Chain A
Amino acid sequence: MVTIANEIKVEVKERGQFRPLKLLKNRWFLYALSLAGFIYLWHWTAERRVFGGGLPLPWDVLVQLGKLTVDPLAGKNLFEHTWASTRRILIGFAIGSSIAVPLGLFMALNKYANAIVKPIFDLLKPMPPIAWISISILWFGIEETPKVFIIVIGTVVPCLLNAYNGVRLVEPQLYDVVKMLGGTRKDEIIQVCFPAAFPAIFAGLQISLSIAWTCVIAAELVAARSGLGFVTLQGMTLSRPAMTVAGMIAIAVAAWLTTLLVSGLERIVCPWKRGLENV
């Protein structure tokens, strides 16, 4: 063990005896309590028919979820519909981010690139990606392309902005460090600029991902024969609210899983961020 006078870090984990009062302070117990309360409230509201027949019982939704995994809807079961949406997300997200991140980095590093791209970008930035749905259907028909296109549009903006700002906000003295150690401009970019921008880039990817899900659901509501947006729409058309809610739950789960994918990637690319979250 190394001893540096007054500079030792010690981690202590307390573990006392079990007491009922302590249970009320337990995080996991409170989580469970909160969820159970929510489901009970939902059940109560549905049973009293507060929204007419529009709110299904939690149990019915669960049954519907089970049924959707077995009985196909428009030729596809729940997993296939989930995959249809997720696939669109992954393709659109991959295309969008692989355009936007390098472009954002390049704009931050090169003022001419910035001067050329920024005006166009600023023009398109305030436009919600969903506004592109109609024109993209006119351009690309109703197959996969328009949906992927919308996702690309939605992904580009936050990815580009975050990559750009990530570089712009790098502490300038860090470049001085590289200069003092004998580094070149290239070293400054590779050793400081990129790694310092990674966390911001990943924040942009997470935002992009949630926008991508909004985009794909919206696109599927307009024109699709597959995907989770289509499932929720089907529930509405057929007056089967349980199906709609089941679709909504599947969307939440799928979106959450893709989020995990990105944070998993971040943990690999940015090992120094591990253990920072809970500080």
Chain B
Amino acid sequence: MAKIVCDRVSKEFIQKGKIRVHVLEEISLEVKENEFLVILGPGQSGKSTLLRIIAGLETPTSGSVFIDGKPVDGPHPSRGLVFQSYMLFAWKTVMGNVEMGPKLRGLPKKERREIAQHYINLVGLKGFEKYYPHQLSGGMKQRVGIARAYANNPDIMLLDEPFGQLDAQTRYFMEKETVRIWEAEKRTVVFVTNNIDEAVYLADRIVTLKGKLPGRMGPTFVVDLPRPREHTDQAFLELRQEIIDSTELVL
């Protein structure tokens, strides 16, 4: 059975009381357990909204989302969300941010410190526990974001264009790190991006969305390349070209 099922999910926002904005139309997809699914779409294709619906932060106007066969009704700590603009607590240290999930679930201090330390080490921030977010670089901030989501031990990780604000080199490096972290602790991952290279580098499977609003289903691609992948591999480049040819994305 699929871990996540989106069944004909549509979403309309009502803006300023009466203007209806149609964001998503009839999105149906399935994500298998421990699969790395990338949702690839241009800006304004509703991909972030789709992720927020899976997270339970938004409700679909029609259609529904099932996780382990049960319909989603609101956010739940079994789903971890990593935000595009980091959304760290500026008033908490790295440790304070990462241990927030276990803290909210009422774990005793010693235990949650251990969990947090484990994930801080996993994302490569050992030694930075006492730093405040403003003292960190963009890549390090998002490491904290990832560790914070992981520390709650969710079985689903949702990442919303997590590296969109990073420069190209840091981004490439963080993609490598994402694969490393995911391979160390496998989770079902839904990763939203607008970057084809990122999608091909990371995904087991790529679901494309067609913009502009409302976002509609585009073709799906299975990425059957061994990891670690190389951006310059012949197979990598062929798949990349195939996706470009069949979608509206332009690099």
Contact = CB atoms under 8 A, between A and B. Distances in A.
Interface residues of B, number: 39
Contacts of A195: 89, 91
A71 interface: no
B15 interface: no
Interface stretch (A4-12, A54-62, A145-153, A228-236): A4-12
A contact residues, range: 20 to 34
A179 B139 contact: no
Given A176-B81, A181-B100, A279-B134, A7 B140 contact: yes
Contact of A183 (B87, B90, B104, B170): B104
A131 interface: no
Contacts of B75: 176, 179-180, 182
A187 B93 CA distance: 18
Nearest to A275: B135
Nearest to B131: A9
B152 A181 contact: yes
Q: Identify whether the interface residues of B are mostly helix, strand, loop, or mixed.
A: loop
Given A2-B127, A6-B170, A182-B76, A272 B91 contact: yes
Contacts of B127: 1-2
A1 B149 CA distance: 25
When A and B form their complex, which 4 residue pairs have the shortest distance between CB atoms, in order from nearest?
A182-B77, A2-B127, A181-B101, A195-B91
Interface of B: 55, 57, 74-77, 79-81, 83, 85, 87, 89-93, 100-101, 104-105, 124-128, 132-135, 137, 139-140, 148-149, 152, 169-170, 173
Interface of A: 1-2, 4-7, 9, 171, 173-174, 176-183, 187, 191-192, 195-196, 198, 270, 272, 275-276, 279
